[in-house]
């Protein structure tokens, strides 16, 4: 079940909200835990068992580590052993379901068809962060299995993030103070995310499909195509993250933002501070810093960054293009840290922005094409004018989608938000809020009903 579906918008969500607010506060975690399992099991009932097993493993690990750490300190070594075993089991589960087929093909060993559980990368990282934080004394062990299970399976961010660390919602899991303003803010954020997903990401996806599959589109047509994909993946994932944040607020949770207008960046370094913030934070806190970060000299820093970006690529998918994509950004970031960043800071903003967007867009080509031949072919289409500037067929499609393309580009900047912030300060701001939310719901619903095109790119991660 996806947020941008008719059954979720008009059946599941209203029913769950009604049940939640008529349930006494003491029973709300249990209710959420149950509806989480229903939500996750909607698409793949059998794999709910896997998520419960993962939850149990980390719940028990947290109890063992917490109790050992609370002793006189003599069990610290045992606590570390439990942590290591817990991490190995988590990685093994993730590795089997996500990478066994890839490794088997690479070694020419048949492993059969292994289904990829939706959201396994996200909830595995969440549960690992919990046991690590308990070991570090950054979080208290959770004795209540329902409370911990609610954290792991929380449906707003279960299948596509943001990756929520236990310590960030620890107090909210135990006691939430739901109020009308928080609920109202949640509705607004959810509707912004829904319109980004349905009205912008889906339409940019259609344009990308057209241009990608037109080998004679020409250089301009090919660039328009990959720019459309650049916008699609942003609005698809950012929109879904905002829907998750909005839903969280409706149920009394405050999740951290996951995207901060990444396409306004003036360096690749800045881009990765703004894109998928929860994932970048996870790798920084649980991989990069424990490896030594930048505290042990430049050679070690380069090695640490290589490990992080190789793992970032692997995390996204079991294919060579994802590994190449991770290493591509590793090289760019190392060039910036070595010397380029200081020149970018002095360069005109326009030049720094063009530089960043060029390499970001090129990176999405690597990210999209799992077939190396198609990847090389499309990169060639961007730079070699063998089919001219743009074909007449491609030009017609570009003109047809041009208004939406320009709207999407505008919406990827913070300009609209800054302009609307002046309205939000007014006492009558609830009127445009209500009108825009209702309008967004109507138009998004009409789009979903009239078109069967509603892909979600991050389901496969």
Give the whole-angstrom CA distance, residue 370 versus residue 329: 17
Q: How confident is residue 72, by pLDDT bands cut at 50, 70 and 90?
A: low
Helix (H, G, I), strand (E, B) or coil at 186: helix
Stated pTM of the model: 0.93
What pLDDT shows up at residue 427? 82
Q: What percent of the chain has pLDDT over 90?
A: 59
Determine contact, residues 447/197, Cβ cutoff 8 Å.
Answer: no
Burial 302-325 (b: 16+ CB within 10 A, else e): bebbeebbeebbbbbbbbebbbeb
Q: How confident is residue 134, by pLDDT bands cut at 50, 70 and 90?
A: very high
CA dihedral 406, 407, 413, 417 (to 10 degrees): 150
The residue-averaged pLDDT of 45-72 equals: 86
**Side-chain half-sphere exposure of 77, counting CA atoms within 13 A:** 1
The residue-averaged pLDDT of 195-223 equals: 92
Quote the Cα angle for 159-164-166, to 5°: 125
The residue-averaged pLDDT of 223-235 equals: 96
Determine contact, residues 333/270, Cβ cutoff 8 Å.
Answer: no
| Number of Cβ atoms within 10 Å of the Cβ of 211 | 26
Radius of gyration of the chain (CA): 23
What pLDDT shows up at residue 108? 75
For residue 363, is pLDDT > 70?
yes
Tokens in use for 387? 């089919």
Residue 108 annotated in active site: no
DSSP state at residue 201: I
Phi, psi torsion values for 275, nearest 5 degrees:
-100, 130
What pLDDT shows up at residue 241? 92
Give the whole-angstrom CA distance, residue 443 versus residue 92: 44
**What are the residue ranges spanned by the domains of the chain?**
6-176, 182-460
What pLDDT shows up at residue 69? 75
Q: What percent of the chain has pLDDT over 70?
A: 96
The residue-averaged pLDDT of 324-341 equals: 95
What pLDDT shows up at residue 442? 93
Q: How confident is residue 308, by pLDDT bands cut at 50, 70 and 90?
A: very high
What pLDDT shows up at residue 450? 82
Instruction: Name which of 34-38, 49-53, 210-214, 457-461 the model is least confident about.
Output: 457-461
- Nearest of 401, 371, 54, 69 to residue 227 by alpha carbon: 401
Residue 41's contacts (CB-CB under 8 Å, 6 or more residues apart) are: 47, 48
Q: How confident is residue 102, by pLDDT bands cut at 50, 70 and 90?
A: confident
Q: Which of 108, 177, 276, 316 is catalytic?
A: 316
């Amino acid at each position: 079940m996806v947020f941008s579906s008719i059954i979720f918008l008009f059946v599941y969500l209203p029913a769950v909200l009604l049940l939640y607010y008529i349930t006494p506060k003491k029973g709300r975690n249990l209710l959420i835990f149950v509806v989480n399992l229903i939500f996750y099991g909607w698409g793949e009932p059998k794999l709910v068992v896997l998520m419960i097993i993962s939850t149990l493993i980390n719940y028990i690990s947290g109890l063992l580590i917490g109790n050992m750490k609370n002793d006189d300190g003599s069990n610290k070594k045992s606590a570390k052993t439990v942590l290591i075993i817990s991490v190995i089991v988590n990685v093994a589960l993730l590795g089997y379901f996500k990478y066994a087929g890839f490794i088997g093909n690479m070694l020419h060993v048949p492993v059969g068809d292994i289904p990829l559980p939706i959201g396994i990368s996200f909830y595995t990282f969440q549960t690992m962060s919990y046991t690590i934080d308990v070991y570090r004394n950054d979080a208290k062990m959770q004795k209540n299995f329902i409370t911990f299970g609610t954290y792991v399976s929380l449906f707003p961010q279960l299948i596509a993030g943001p990756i929520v660390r236990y310590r960030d919602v620890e107090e909210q899991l135990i006691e939430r103070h739901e109020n009308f303003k928080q609920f109202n803010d949640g509705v607004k954020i959810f509707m912004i995310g829904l319109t980004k997903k349905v009205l912008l990401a889906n339409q940019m996806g259609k344009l990308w499909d057209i241009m990608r599959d037109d080998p004679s589109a020409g250089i301009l047509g090919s660039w328009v195509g990959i720019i459309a994909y650049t916008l699609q993946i942003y609005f698809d994932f950012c929109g879904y993250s905002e829907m998750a944040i909005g839903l969280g607020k409706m149920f009394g949770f405050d999740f951290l933002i996951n995207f901060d207008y990444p396409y306004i960046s003036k360096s690749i370094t800045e881009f990765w501070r703004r894109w998928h913030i929860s994932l970048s934070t996870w790798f920084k806190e649980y991989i990069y810093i424990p490896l030594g970060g930048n505290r042990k000299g430049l050679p070690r820093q380069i090695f640490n960054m290589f490990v992080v970006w190789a793992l970032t690529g692997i995390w996204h998918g079991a294919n060579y293009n994802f590994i190449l994509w991770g290493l591509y950004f590793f090289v760019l970031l190392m060039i910036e840290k070595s010397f380029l960043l200081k020149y970018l800071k002095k360069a005109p903003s326009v030049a720094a922005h063009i530089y960043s967007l060029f390499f970001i867009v090129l990176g999405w080509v690597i990210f999209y094409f799992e077939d190396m031949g198609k990847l090389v072919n499309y990169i060639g289409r961007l730079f070699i004018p063998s089919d001219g500037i743009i074909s007449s067929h491609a030009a017609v499609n570009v003109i047809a989608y041009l208004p939406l393309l320009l709207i999407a580009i505008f919406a990827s900047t913070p300009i609209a938000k800054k302009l609307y912030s002046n309205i939000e300060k007014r006492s009558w701001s609830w009127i445009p809020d209500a009108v825009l939310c209702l309008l967004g719901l109507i138009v998004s619903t009409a789009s979903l009903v009239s078109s069967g095109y509603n892909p979600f790119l991050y389901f496969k991660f």
